[in-house]
Structure 1
Amino acid sequence: MLQQIIAYIKFLKRSTNQHGVHSPFVYNLITKCFYDKSKYNKYKEIASYRKALRKSKDTINVIDLGSGSRVFKTSQRSVSKMVQKVGASKKESKLLFRLVNYLQINTILELGTSLGIATHAMAVANPEIKMTSIEGCPNISAYTKGTLGQFNLKNTEILTGDFNDAIKPLALNKYDLIYFDGNHQKQATLDYFETLLTTTTNDSFFIFDDIYWSKEMTEAWEIIKKHPQVTVTIDTFFLGFVFFRKEQKKEHFKIRI
């Protein structure tokens, strides 16, 4: 926790807003998407999904395949507490929705479905989107499939299994967006990144959740930024965005949102 506090103080000192951003693509992304204050009707659907989970009395026996939880001490976890402690925040959910909407995303791969809060937020942006999400814990996967089904979400497929195994056949596909939010270990993050580079096009982008979750995750983020195929990165502290646009010069931004 102390490491995150120090990292956040440093981030605030070094970050900025759209001012001083000379790349038209990044400037427009910040001003027209990150800072978009529109009251989208779909926000009500996103809020309803979160509310249903928050009011749930259910518990799930969680099998952690990644780095484990810093919040929960036992494997038996309350759904309502999971929403509060480990689910995508309201702010993040709305941002993910806006990103899919603004960049006209058609295909999404998500590593780490959890309770489907981020999954739902991205999928409702467009019913024509093809969304694939992978969850390692079979109990969470089954629960979330049922919950998403209650909300009539038909454009999303949830796969269950270890990421290492699940992503190998998927690496043959092409994705507009890949959202990494399931294993916050350095080497695992780098391995998934390298494996899924084959799925990118010039307009694809990756999002990494919790890039300051630990010293190791921050090290992984710094390595990813230096990769020769990466051109632009945007660090918002909680989320890290990676772009592969060949027409862009290599630049790294720290943006407050």
Structure 2
Amino acid sequence: MDINCFFYRAGSFLKYFFKSGYWKGHRIHSPFVFYVVSELLFEKTPFYAFKKTDAARNMLLKSKERITVKTLGAPSVDQRSTKKVKKLVEQGSIPARYGKFIFRLINHFGLKNILELGTGTGLGTLYLALPDSHNKITSIEGNPQLHRVAANLFETVGVNNVNLIHGTFERVLPDVLANTEKLDFVFFDGNHQLEPTLQYFEMCLSKSHNESIFVFDDIHWSQEMEEAWEMIIANPRVTVSLDLFRLGVVFFRKECTKQHFVIRY
């Protein structure tokens, strides 16, 4: 356990807590942002697909399989070289409430062409794939054992619209983007370092459009990730951004006034 890393994240959460506001959309004057926060972020109506994601999470939490974790990006707080799948889900997989928010974003805005950088166990990928079986999801994972775990999960759940690619982002991403006309949604969930995060953002930005949505996981993971987040939301193409502590969400809608919201969630 990296104690310095732990205390840094604890301090980041305290800063976020006291800075955050706009709970359930209160005091948000932008109609677009008010809808996203009040109707999508805090929506409680369950979708049938959530039964599948909840069942998949429970299945992974019962797994006794242990895999080698070769970190390709920033190290985890828990730096053991091998971990149980259960521990990976507990420590790293996206919590259900955030995953369901991503699901609602994709479902509501009809986002079809989706890219995920960092498949992990595949649990987070389900929230990208299940809104519509016709959606096209490309997910890249550099760890071969995690790639196998995710592939098995998709087969078990019956998800057939994920193109799961094994390889590093540096090697695979250029070819993926070269064969992609546009990106409607990108989930950045790997290599939590400043320069790579900004590099992948700029690369994907070339395929974005007015209705695209980019979501970044662990924006308060480290000082580097916080710096990357600040640079991302300062980009002239980004108009609206939401800081949910765990996730950072950016929109590119030209009809919206550039604003940054720290939402207590």
TM-score, reference length from structure 1: 0.96
Within the alignment, does 1:3 sit opposite 2:8 as a pair? Answer: yes
For structure 2, list consecutive stretches of 5 or more residues without a partner in the other structure.
1-5
The answer for the alignment partner of 1:61 in structure 2 is 68
In 1, Cα distance between equivalents of 2:75 and 2:163 = 24
| 1:187 corresponds to | 195
- Separation in structure 1 between the aligned mates of residue 7 and residue 63 of structure 2, nearest angstrom: 32
Query: What RMSD, in angstroms, separates the aligned Cα atoms of the two structures?
Result: 1.2
CA distance in 1, matches of 2:92, 2:10: 18
Residue 44, structure 1, aligned to residue 46, structure 2:
no
| 1:250 Cα deviation from its structure 2 partner | 0.9
Aligned to 2:77: 70
Partner residue of 2:111? 105
Identity of aligned residues (%): 38
The answer on 1:159 being equivalent to 2:165 is yes
Q: Does 1:215 align with 2:223?
A: yes
2:251 equivalent in structure 1: 243
Q: Distance in 1 between matches of 2:148 and 2:215?
A: 25
1:143 aligned residue: 149
1:64 partner SS:
coil
The answer to whether the 8 Å contact 2:240/2:251 transfers is: yes
1:80 to 72, 81, 86: 86
Verify the 8 A CA contact 2:123 2:150 in the aligned structure 1.
Answer: no
Q: Write out per-residue CA displacement over residues 99-147 of structure 1, whole angstroms, 9 at most, x where no aligned residue.
A: 2112221111000000011101221111111111000111211221122
What is the CA distance between 1:218 and its match in structure 2? 0.2
1:144, 1:9 → 2: CA distance?
Answer: 34
Q: Indicate whether 1:26 and 2:30 are aligned.
A: no
1:230 pairs with 2:230:
no
Deviation of 1:63 after TM superposition, in Å, equals 2.2
Preserved CA contact (<8 Å) 1:203 1:243: yes
Contact 1:123 1:131 (C-alpha < 8 Å) held by counterparts: yes
User: Deviation of residue 39 (structure 1)?
Assistant: 2.1
Q: Which of residues 175, 178, 188 in structure 1 aligns to 2:186?
A: 178
Whole-angstrom distance in 1 between the partners of 2:64 and 2:248: 33
Which amino acid is 1:44 matched to? K
Q: Deviations over 1:66-107 (max 9, x none)?
A: 112221412x22111111111111222222222211222111
Secondary structure at the counterpart of residue 28 of structure 2:
coil
2:19 maps to amino acid: R
Question: Deviation of residue 170 (structure 1)?
Answer: 2.4
2:65 and 2:235 map into 1 onto residues whose CA distance is 43
* 1:67 partner letter: A
Q: Please, which runs of 5 or more residues in structure 1 have no aligned partner?
A: none
Residue in 1 aligned with 2:3?
A: none
Number of corresponding residues: 256
Contact 1:93 1:117 in 2 (8 A): no
Cα distance in 1 between the residues matched to 2:11 and 2:125: 30
